[in-house]
Amino acid sequence: MGLLTIGVFARAARLSPKALRLYDELGLLTPARVDPSSGYRLYDPAQLERARLVAWLRRLGMPLVRIRAVCDAGPGAGAAEVRAYWARVESDTAARRDLAAFLIGHLSGKDTTMTSATTTGPRPAFAIRYAAASDTGTVRERNEDTAYAGPRLLAVADGFGGASGPSGLSGPSGLSGPSGPSGTDTSAPRAADTPGAPASAVAVEALKALETVEAPLGDLLNSLEEAARRAHDSVNELASSDPALHGVGTTLTALLWSGSRLALVHIGDSRAYLLRGDRFFQITHDHTLVRAMVDEGRITAEEASSHPQRALLLRALGGGGEFAPDLGVREVRAGDRYLLCSDGLSAVVGAEDIREVVAAAPAPGDAVRELIDLAVRAGGPDNVSCVVADVVASREP
């Protein structure tokens, strides 16, 4: 069979002539020959397989740059590229699912109000009992974590980077927050005087104003996102204020309560878990190189736990990176127990051991102490911070 005109080739490949001209310009699908007089593009029938592959990948929504990588790779490598792309699509879809559910409920007229913590008004459907603590661990000289718990806001941040700072606080900090479902927050961020520590502290400080914000539930996620952006800017300002702080950054995982829902902001490798009934599961996605490699099928979860680059972050606040957190809204239920922690816990204590403590501890303070003890007994190679909160029905006035 001779060369095919662009029209015939387009019909056979189920692509439009306009698309074929674009793919030619991008070097993705170059014609076998271009007539020097007319400029007509002519294609070899053998190119149909590549053209059809391009068409299939476009139906998946794959970007053209990534399609080129698939087409230029061999069959095995091409399959790995498609697997990696689809894993990312599923991850992004899962992150948007809760937000879609929230918007459906919001647009259906189920909005409530997040009232000021310092003024009278409608009581939320639920309240929380909470505790937070941070420990330097047995290896690090300083603590770069910050853990915070209040009536509406929970947060964990793990600072990093910068030149070595002066000696700071060390050893375990006390539990923060009352043990009851309501009350004045007397906690303060726990952080040490070391470059990563102020980064985590200023990030959490930027969120604390949300404790007394009055806003419709529809603005809950926007309020949290704006506060997280302020935290990102604050960390960048900190980095530019002193050469010794150049390059500092921090992870941030935070939950903000309103009525029967909570908003989540997450960036980095600190984590949030939920215990609901007998189910215990992670509700955040690690922004690390090894997690991306697992998602793409390049390594197993077991290999990731001992990978030499397992601490390498892909996203964080500050640190010279873009502001790109995960955001979501979740429905809460009475009896839920939430855990926020830095990787000083999750990197050395298995998920099943964490679950056992979270499920068995009678109160948030007990859970926090036992989890930190677990990390320390496992060697405590990093700072470890935990926040635990129980969702309870609001007390009647």
Ramachandran area for residue 62 (φ above 0: left; ψ -120 to 50: alpha; else beta): beta
Lowest mean pLDDT among 55-64, 173-182, 318-327, 368-377: 173-182
What secondary structure letter does DSSP report for 212?
Answer: G
Whether pLDDT at 336 is above 60: yes
pTM of model > 0.75: no
176, 207, 345, 165: CA torsion to nearest 10: -90
Q: Cβ(195)–Cβ(246) under 8 Å?
A: no
Note the pLDDT of residue 26: 85
Neighbours of 77 (CB within 10 A): 11
CB within 8 Å of 391: residues ≥ 6 apart: 126, 127, 128, 332, 333, 334, 335, 336, 337, 338
Q: How many residues does the chain have?
A: 397
Sheet (strand 41-43) strand order: 4-5, 41-43, 33-34
Identify the bridge partners of residue 386 per DSSP, sorted by sequence position: 133, 341
Could you state, in order of their start, the residue ranges of all structural domains in the chain?
A: 4-72, 99-393
Largest pairwise CA distance in the chain: 88
Q: Tens digits of per-residue pLDDT, 228-277?
A: 999 999 999 999 998 888 889 999 999 998 878 889 999 999 999 999 99
Cα–Cα distance between 231 and 254 in angstroms, integer? Answer: 12
Distance of CA 135 to the CA centre of its chain: 23
Question: H or E element: which one contains 225?
Answer: helix 220-241
Segment 145-163 shows an average pLDDT of 92
Q: Tens digits of per-residue pLDDT, 284-300?
A: 999 999 988 887 777 88
CB within 8 Å of 385: residues ≥ 6 apart: 132, 133, 134, 135, 145, 146, 147, 156, 158, 190, 270, 341, 342, 344, 345
Q: Does domain 4-72 match CATH 3.50.50.60?
A: no
Note the pLDDT of residue 364: 98
Cα–Cα distance between 227 and 249 in angstroms, integer? Answer: 16
- What superfamily would CATH give domain 99-393? PPM-type phosphatase domain (3.60.40.10)
Neighbours of 298 (CB within 10 A): 14
13-41 burial by CB neighbour count: b if 16+ within 10 A, else e? bebeeebbeebbeeebbebeeeeeeeeeb
Q: Which residue, 131, 159, 132, is CA-closest to 145?
A: 159
- Owner of token pair 């259906």: 108
